A and B are shown apart, each in its own frame.
Chain A
Amino acid sequence: MNPKESSSAPEAQEEQGALGDRYERIKAAEQARKALLARRHYSLRLQIYLGFFLVLLFAAGIATALVLTMYQVEDKLRFLEIVNDFMIEIQQARRFEKNYFLYGTNLSDALENVYKAREISNRNAEELNAILGKRSMSPIFPNLEQYESLLEELVALKREDQPGPRHARRKKEIEVALRKHGQKLVSVAQDLIAREKAALSKTILRSRNVHIYALFFLLIFMAANAYLLGSRILGNINRFMKYASRIAAGDFSPITPARSFRDEFTDLALAINQMLLELERREAVLIQSHKMRAVGTLTAGVAHELNNPLNNITLTAHMLLEDYETLTDEERKEMVEDVVKEADRSRDIISNLLDFARESGAQVETLDLKELLEDTIALASNQIKLSGIKIEFKATDHLPRIHGDSQQLRQVFLNLILNAIDASEKGGKIQVLALPADEPNYVAVKVIDFGKGIPEYVLGSIFDPFFTTKAKGKGTGLGLSVSQGIIAKHGGKIRVHSREGMGATFTVTLPVTTLPAEMPGNERTA
């Protein structure tokens, strides 16, 4: 393969890779969407409605039960009232009855009271029947009828007014019977009142218990419902908070189903997945535009550096033209060779930059950190020379390989080196070190400058987007923010350590690759 072919082949490959990557992302998002929607629908709204409906149903049941109890209580009170009235009349009648037997007066009054009692029982017969049933009613009336008829007989006897032994005996018999029936009548009514009072207090107690238990149950039910609803909402909010911090850390993989049903949070997940696609696209644009800015910075150095080979070519060509006839073949050949050599040199100066500037999608491969850093330093070398700064590079031997996108990582290290150049005084130096990190399975790259250092009060915000300490138009304030995003996506971290007047150290830690080493050539030729 000649160099031309080999340089164009990976280009096509990379472009395909970029398209493929974007396609993969969209496909993953689409799969996530399908999986999210495939589940049974059980919305929060439904759970809320269901909870309230159950509470309503229960409350309605309790209310009905209470209303019914109240009717019962009312009935019983009414009954008691009737029986009480009845009893008062009977008692009055008995009092008159006694008076009659003792003093011979009030007999008609007694009969009147009995009529009144009878009227009460007749008037309320239906109600009494409804409450007592036929069976319990029966003992009242026979006694009342007998008592009434005995009194009537007594009145008749009195009207005859023929005192005689038969008369007196009959009066005595009636007195005994009257007393018996009267007592019976009173005791039945009293018994009835006592029974109904007991039943009434039982009903009131039941009603009170229903109140207490219903309240208790309602409390438990509502607490359980609130707990279920709350834990469902809070659990999901927590889950989405985790997603948010994951996304903030640069992981843009779509949200996949975590539960067996779908609800309003599923809609949120779908919206976030859509947002992720957009975010990723924008981040790619941001990284690319930031890269182009770095390329712009480097271009000044490259253009300046190009003057040297160009000057050599100009001088050589002009002298060749001027002295063509007088020069020996040997000298002419040497001059042409110089021109070729200087042209090659120009190409090398430019090609590294062009290689870096080329737009390409994320392509993850195993990388040799030392090689990557050497490439990056070469990229910045013109800038370093132009600034009159020295750069020292040291790498620990046999550093483990890392896994990542070489273009993006070069962009990060270039950014750190260019920042270090900006921070250094003319004639200063920068150190770049690659070594195993303090934590196992990580490697660290340190970019150290010996400039003014970073004041403590800005240290906290240097990774914020659009934060810059450089003069207007010199920096976008995106470099460290973009770098942090790239490193986070690689599972690493950027830290800064600086004291005013003592320079600054930026440390990038990256996880070492744990996958079996791939053959870098395979990807290219496949």
Chain B
Amino acid sequence: MSEEGLDVLLVDDEAIVGKRLKPALTKIGCRVEVFEDPREALERIHQKTFDIVVTDIRMDEIDGMQILEEVREKSPRTKVIMITGYAMMAVAREAMEKGAFDFISKPFKPDDLRKVIARAAEALGSPLDFGFAETKAS
């Protein structure tokens, strides 16, 4: 963390998720990289250490659990936030046991994710200026 803000990697095979969340997170001071293909995301994770990784759990070929495991192995400091669907509480719990920071259930509002990221930022020791989102959400 050389400069202000957090490095965030977001992976979800639903294109719209990345398309909408990128500006939403950029606004609160994150540098966001978005991937639809979990394989490409993994490659990028090996290249660069992110502060926060947001990943969908259910994806084809490589799922969120595998990304979680690789991130935890590479950089224990990185906070991993899992996106789950309803009726996947068992999987979410398993993710928490494996060291995920938190999980968030689809469908969620942009602010829901922003709040989790804010908490992750605090945990990382570099709180975000979250005023903008806070006033909007109230």
Contact = CB atoms under 8 A, between A and B. Distances in A.
Same complex for A and B? Answer yes
B103 to A, nearest CB: 13
Given A300-B87, A307-B85, A307-B86, A312 B17 contact: yes
A310 B85 CA distance: 11
B14 A319 contact: no
A129 interface: no
B107 A314 contact: yes
Contact of B16 (A318, A338, A386, A388): A338
Contact of B106 (A308, A316, A338): A308
A311 B14 contact: yes
A438 interface: no
A304 B106 CA distance: 9
A382 to B, nearest CB: 11
A322 interface: yes
Given A312-B17, A314-B107, A318-B111, A304 B23 contact: no
B16 A315 contact: yes
A160 interface: no
B12 to A, nearest CB: 9
B108 A311 contact: yes
B24 A319 contact: yes
- Interface footprint category on A: 20 to 34
B86 to A, nearest CB: 6
A304 B57 CA distance: 12
A41 to B, nearest CB: 66
A303 interface: yes
Contacts of A385: 58
B110 A322 contact: yes
A378 B88 CA distance: 22
B111 to A, nearest CB: 7
A75 interface: no
B110 A304 contact: no
B110 A315 contact: yes
21 contacts: A300-B87, A304-B86, A304-B87, A304-B88, A307-B107, A311-B14, A311-B106, A312-B14, A314-B108, A315-B16, A315-B17, A315-B21, A315-B107, A315-B110, A318-B110, A318-B111, A319-B20, A319-B110, A338-B16, A386-B58, A388-B63
Interface of B: 14, 16-17, 19-21, 23-24, 58, 63, 85-88, 106-111, 136
The 8 closest A-B pairs by CB, nearest first: A311-B107, A312-B16, A311-B106, A307-B106, A315-B20, A314-B107, A307-B85, A310-B107
